Structures are given as C-alpha cells and as structure tokens.
C-alpha cells in the first residue's frame, strides 16, 4: 500500500465516524442548551408572567418564588379583579424555591 491509499482510507474512516457520532453530539448539545435555558430562567428575576389569548380564553403562566402562604389567594384575587372567570388553575412546585402557576381564564 502506498501513502496516498493509506491517507485516503484514514479520511474515509474519519468521515464515517463523524457521520455516526453526529446524532449523539447534537443530542448532547440540545440537552445542554435546554438545561442552560432553565438555569438562566431561574437566575433571572422572578416573577415571570406570560399571557396568551385565544378567542375568549387566556392562558396565564407565572413563575414566582415560593413564599409565605397567601400568594395564591393574591394571584386569584387579581385575576378576579380583572373580571376574568377562572376555568382551570394549577399550582406546581418547580425546584426547591420556585412555583409554576398556570391559569386558564375566560374573558
């Protein structure tokens, strides 16, 4: 075997290995990006409120710090003061210091 054919074989082998490894590398990168976005969100100032509307319904998502009792009552009170009817409400702890609140309300 001459040097050129050895080099060509090595290049082909490297290409094959890259093609096989690419999906695993992309999956790891996506997992890292997802975890980084969660970490960034948690480090940013809370509360975070997102509202989406569709016809006469509103989806309200709130990330806030877990605090003393009564915060849930305050949130529901504010929603009622905005003349919204609560159709569904979900409160979930997210990590050890954060609360994830989802409310579906009707105008």
Asked if 37 and 58 sit in the same domain, the reply is: no
- Domain containing residue 88: CATH number: 3.30.30
On whether the CB atoms of residues 87 and 101 are closer than 8 A, the answer is: no
Neighbouring residues of 105: CB distance < 8 A, sequence distance ≥ 6: 57, 58, 60, 79, 84, 85, 86, 87
Q: Tell me the C-alpha distance between 102 and 86, whole Å.
A: 11
Which residues form the domain of 64?
48-106
Which pLDDT band, with edges at 50, 70 and 90, does 104 fall under? Answer: very high
Q: How many domains does the chain have?
A: 2
32 with 57, same domain: the answer is: no
> Measuring CA to CA, which residue among 38, 58, 62, 64 is closest to residue 50?
62
Q: State mean pLDDT over 84-100.
A: 87
Question: pLDDT band for position 88 (50/70/90)?
Answer: very high
The CA distance from 61 to 103, in Å, is: 6
How large is the average pLDDT for residues 27-39?
Answer: 52
Per-residue tokens: 72: 């849930």
């Amino acid at each position: 075997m001459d040097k050129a054919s050895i080099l060509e074989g090595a290049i082909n082998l490297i290409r094959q290995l890259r093609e096989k490894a690419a999906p695993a590398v992309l999956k790891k990168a996506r997992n890292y990006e997802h975890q980084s976005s969660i970490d960034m969100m948690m480090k940013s100032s809370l509360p975070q409120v997102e509202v989406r509307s569709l016809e006469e319904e509103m989806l309200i998502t709130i990330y806030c710090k877990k605090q003393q009792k009564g915060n849930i009552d305050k949130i529901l009170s504010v929603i009622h003061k905005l003349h919204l009817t609560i159709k569904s409400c979900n409160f979930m702890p997210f990590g050890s210091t954060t609360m994830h609140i989802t409310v579906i309300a009707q105008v």
